[in-house]
Structure 1
Amino acid sequence: MKSLPLALGFSCVASMAIADTTVQSCNRDVTFDTVPTAAISNDVNLTEMMLVLGLADKMVGYTGISGWKTLDEEMRAGVEQLPELSAKYPSKEVLIGANADFFFAGWNYGMKVGGEVTPETLSPFDIKVYELTESCIHIGEKDKVSMDDMYNDLLNLGVIFDVSDKAEELVTGYKADLANFTASLNTGDEALRVFVYDSGEDTPFTAGRYAMPTALIEAAGGKNVLDDFEKSWATVTWEEVVERNPEVIVIVNYGNVTAEEKRAFMMSNPAFADIDAVKNDRFVTLEYVEATPGPRNIAAIKKLSSAFWGE
């Protein structure tokens, strides 16, 4: 993965006028006549997108990271001079109080449908919102998740912040890296059956057709056993998981329950004893920031491939 640039100067920056620039954000067109200079991002993966584009000097802070325990050493270094304005989802008052002019968030990534913080509720305060592409399924129809969802966000951020050259360079590099990797990938005759275990014991919270792990698993030569589940991140029943009999289980690591505790729960529960992944103890862990759209997705694909095929 490319290291995160630490462009963290905080000198007073005048608004840079640009010709009216419009990007599509879910089902909306958002037009900018100046480059945002007081941006806030929510969640660790969205914040990393801002940092990898070198936009820290255009930010006044971030939200929604420490409350979910997703901050690792690499990310900590990237944001050490930026304040965390809210440990979990920000309130409208937090964003207004920071004099924000831009909020990079998503549905269930800092905003909830019908909630206090939405593009509509922030518009009267001149806070423009760009929505994470993966999350658009929560407010309308979209295509099945793909790596293009992540690329699209980087390219749109490039347009919004007038750093399109940097964004295009990054996306071109990610695509070439992935193409070179998958061209040499030696997989089996059939895609491995894979289940994503995010959290939950009574019922599992998992990734469906529109959540990024489905695209990561496919790129690594597997198949999400719930890729026909018409949801993004949502809850299913354990009976469905047992019936689909995954050969590998991908654990998403974050929060108060560790990846090892999630694995131990599945390994010790008699109800799961006949699942191939449990019988053969085939688990692989993705950190939250790897499993959600962002700069670490290519490295996540390589990690999955190694666990799937031993390469």
Structure 2
Amino acid sequence: MTFIRLALCLSLLSVTQWAQAEATRYPLTIQSCNRDVTFNQAPTHAVSHDINMTQMMLALGLKPRMAGYSGISGWKAVTPEMQVILDGLPELASKYPSIETLLNANVDFFFAGWDYGMRVGGDLTPQTLTPLGINVYELTESCAFVMKRPAASLEDTYNDLRNLGKIFDVQDRANALIAQMQQSVADTRKTLPESRPRVFLYDSGEDRAMTSGRLGIPHALIEAAGGDDILGDIDASWTRINWETVVERNPEVIVIVDYSEVSAEQKQHFLEHNPALQSVAAIRNKRFIVIPYVQATPGIDNVVAIKTLAKGFHPQ
């Protein structure tokens, strides 16, 4: 059973077996990045942007409270499993929704992130949407684009789930899902040896490499799976680096993010045949691990990524 199926099953089960959380009392104020957001009631026409945030909403059983989602089909292939879960929920925009699109759908809540549907100074921001009656909750990991914060961690995703639980008054579902995720990570970490291979995450790019520094969730995934992120000292989230840096730090394993028009196979072929990279240990020994975009971005599938990475880092 995949983790998203497990999460969705949890959202449908009775929560009597879990400690009952206190019901949300509105008005409710939630911290989102460096802002306070007040909710006078639970949203009824919510929109999530991107596949990872949409998974979070659906895993909490919030489909009936949603007006739709955005930013999935225009960027990533939707798996048959995900298509079943999305059935009946309209995609308001294949890439980025406009303000008019959200207003026409009577949206009262937008769950997105910086560089995940929003950009500083862009059309869709908390500053542009709040005056229109649309509350915005920002993906915690993405706050690094608008404020100083520590390295990304799995606690970022747990924080988002807790806050969504409070906002929609489904705290018991959120707590149950977080507990399952924490147990899965703990079970994986029990099996890890002390050795930690040097790891580089490759998202895309040929002239320069799109990757992640310590402020992006891939750093947390690599570390949790028993690897040593070669860019763990880079104070950035998703960013670009020169290939010289990759050669100098000589990763023993390369993690490829699979999405978009360029396949993981094409990305690996580029790396293997780039003359400048032939001295890199991971390329000489053909040690590549592929994870899909939804596992490499903050969300409930991070626990699946950690299991996959741990097996690839420590095949013994």
Normalising by structure 1, we get a TM-score of 0.94
Q: Which runs of 5+ in 1 are unaligned?
A: 9-15
Opposite residue 283 of structure 2, the aligned amino acid is V
Match of 1:116 among 119, 123, 126: 123
1:217 aligned partner:
222
Opposite residue 5 of structure 1, the aligned amino acid is L
How far apart in 1 are the matches of 2:235 and 2:274? 28
| C-alpha distance after superposition, 1:207-245 (max 9, x if no partner) | 111111100000111011111111100111011111110
The Cα shift of 1:166 comes to: 0.7
How far apart in 1 are the matches of 2:25 and 2:223? 39
Count of residues paired in the alignment: 302
Q: What secondary structure does 1:251 align onto? A: strand
| C-alpha distance after superposition, 1:254-303 (max 9, x if no partner) | 00000000000011111111000000000000100000011111110000
Residue 167, structure 1, aligned to residue 170, structure 2: no
Residue correspondence of structure 1 range 164-243 to structure 2 within 5 A: 164-188=171-195, 191-243=196-248
Contact residue 44 and residue 70 of structure 1 kept, 8 A = no
Opposite residue 121 of structure 1, the aligned amino acid is T
How far apart in 2 are the matches of 1:2 and 1:117? 28
Match of 2:279 among 274, 281, 289: 274
1:293 aligned partner:
298
The Cα shift of 1:104 comes to: 0.1
2:20 aligned partner:
none
Residue 261, structure 1, aligned to residue 261, structure 2: no
1:305 aligned partner:
310
| C-alpha distance after superposition, 1:90-113 (max 9, x if no partner) | 111111111100000000101010
Q: What secondary structure does 2:28 align onto? A: strand
How far apart in 1 are the matches of 2:81 and 2:158? 21
Residue 86, structure 1, aligned to residue 89, structure 2: no
Opposite residue 310 of structure 1, the aligned amino acid is P
Contact residue 188 and residue 225 of structure 2 kept, 8 A = no
2:70 aligned partner:
63
Opposite residue 162 of structure 2, the aligned amino acid is L
2:57 aligned partner:
50
How far apart in 2 are the matches of 1:184 and 1:266? 30
1:23 aligned partner:
30
The Cα shift of 1:181 comes to: 2.0
How far apart in 1 are the matches of 2:41 and 2:235? 38
Opposite residue 218 of structure 2, the aligned amino acid is P
How far apart in 2 are the matches of 1:47 and 1:85? 13
The Cα shift of 1:18 comes to: 4.5
How far apart in 2 are the matches of 1:148 and 1:70? 28
1:41 aligned partner:
48
Residue 131, structure 1, aligned to residue 138, structure 2: yes
Percent sequence identity over aligned pairs:
52
Q: What secondary structure does 1:151 align onto? A: helix
How far apart in 2 are the matches of 1:101 and 1:19? 16
Residue 252, structure 1, aligned to residue 237, structure 2: no
Contact residue 17 and residue 33 of structure 1 kept, 8 A = no
Q: What secondary structure does 2:239 align onto? A: strand
Which moved further from structure 2: 237-246 or 18-27? 18-27
How far apart in 2 are the matches of 1:68 and 1:61? 17
The Cα shift of 1:129 comes to: 0.3
| C-alpha distance after superposition, 1:27-72 (max 9, x if no partner) | 0111111000000000000000001101000001000001102422
How far apart in 2 are the matches of 1:240 and 1:179? 33
| C-alpha distance after superposition, 1:120-171 (max 9, x if no partner) | 1001210000000000000010110000001100010000000001101111
Contact residue 67 and residue 88 of structure 1 kept, 8 A = yes
Q: What secondary structure does 1:179 align onto? A: helix
Q: What secondary structure does 2:231 align onto? A: coil
Contact residue 32 and residue 140 of structure 2 kept, 8 A = yes
2:152 aligned partner:
145
RMSD: 1.6
